[in-house]
Structures are given as C-alpha cells and as structure tokens.
Amino acid sequence: MKTTLELYGAQTGNCIRAAIALDEAGLSYTPKLVDLSGGAQRGVDHLALNPAGKIPVLVEKAEDREPFILTQSNAIILYAAGKAAGRLLPENDRDRAIVFERFFFFVTDVIAVSHAAFSLRGSDAQEGRTILEDRMLATLETAERYVGDDEFMAGKTFSAADIAGFTITQSVKSDLPWPTLPNLRRWFERIEGRPAVKRGLQAFNRIQDLDRRV
Ligand SMILES: N[C@@H](CCC(=O)N[C@@H](CS)C(=O)NCC(=O)O)C(=O)O
C-alpha cells in the first residue's frame, strides 16, 4: 500500500527535529511550510490538522484510508523510529532504555525549560527568563558526561537521543563554554556533519525547490 508523508512546519527546533527523524529513519516526506509570522498556524486549514494551532504536524496519507494526523514533535520522532527498525531506537531493552533516558533528559530537562524561557519574552518577567535560560544551559552542559566514552549521546550508535540533543545545542551554541566541553563539542560536530541532519536543517528553508525525498 502506497503511503505519503507530509510534514507541516517551519524553521524551528521542534520542526527540524521531526524532519531529521523522518530523514534518519529513511522515510520520504514532503515539507509543507507554515508561515508562522503570517499567522497560518491559526488559519482554518491548519486548525483542521491541529486545533492547537501548532507545528510540526505529520500527515500520513494512504489510498484507501483516512489520513493519519500526528502532532507533537516527540511523537513524530518516535513514530518515525517505529517505522525504521533499530535506526533510531535500539532493539535491545536496556540499550533502548538508555536512549529514552537521554531523549527525555533533553526533552523535559533542557528543551522544555528553554520553551518556558521563550514564553516569557516580552513579559515583565525578564529576570525569570534569565534564570530559566541559565538553568537550561547548566543542565545542557551536563550532557558532557553522556558523550565521554561513546560517539553518540546514548552509546555507540546514532539514536533519537542525538536528535533530541542536537537542535537545542545548536540554538545555544554561542552561549556554551566550549573549552570546558570537549566531548560535547566532538559529538556536536559529528552530528552536524550527518547528511540527514544537514537536510533536516534546511527542510523548511529551501521550501521552493523541495519535494524532499530521501
Ligand atoms: N510540544 C510541541 C510544541 C509545539 C510548538 O510550540 N510549536 C511552535 C513552533 S516550534 C508553534 O507552533 N508556535 C506557533 C504558535 O504558538 O503560534 C511539540 O513539540 O511539537
């Protein structure tokens, strides 16, 4: 049965992570740009896909079925992982548990704090925003210990934990004390150099020439 995947998104960390996961899983998808500054996320068409008015949204279409619509970047990452045996999540229980440990470290302890800080922009709580940003950076720096012996964030193979860690690290890279983080730096450069990561970073940038197939 032929299925197609469309990823609605924009040039944001949540959307880029979802794009990287699809690509790393070997799944072909078409990026669909949602113009956030023009308010397209609150338009009728987009609200029909996601009543929360957020991106990313994955739409899977098959000839003889209703489209399957999935919101939440992390759900999309794990859905991609489920379609790509062993590529983003190891088969072995313990190895997979370690991937989840580090995946959720980034999702809940780093990315969520960064989002909370971002949500305070323009408010009168700038001191709180600074406290959250500093905590997020301090927590992110502790990922240095995860990449001491191994090439990747959760062991010897690339996984969903690398995807979770990459975009947030990239977005704050000018704020990190790199000389004190030699392992994290090596890890970051290794992940940054992956072809699927490079394509994911551009997925919503060069939208005009895209019918992105991998
Ligand atoms: N937890 C959600 C967060 C989704 C989210 O906040 N998306 C932002 C872009 S990264 C968005 O759609 N913002 C538009 C708006 O709030 O109007 C996820 O991981 O997908």
159 CB near ligand 1 (under 6 Å): no
**DSSP symbol at 67:** P
Q: How far is the CA of 114 from the centre of ligand 1 (A)?
A: 13
Question: Within 10 A of 129 (CB to CB), how many other CB atoms are there?
Answer: 17
Q: What domains does the chain contain, in order, with CATH numbers?
A: 3-86+197-209 (3.40.30.10), 93-194 (1.20.1050.10)
Output the pTM of the full model: 0.94
How does pLDDT run along the chain (214 residues), one tens digit per residue? 789 999 999 999 999 999 999 999 999 999 999 999 999 999 999 999 999 999 999 999 999 899 999 999 999 999 999 999 899 999 999 999 999 999 999 999 999 999 999 999 999 999 999 999 999 999 999 999 999 989 999 999 999 999 999 999 999 999 999 999 999 999 999 999 999 999 999 999 965 444 433 3
**DSSP-assigned beta bridge partners for residue 155:** 152
Peptide bond into 31 cis (omega under 30): no
User: In angstroms, rounded to a whole number, what is the distance separating the alpha carbons of residues 76 and 14?
Assistant: 10
Q: How far is the CA of 19 from the centre of ligand 1 (A)?
A: 14
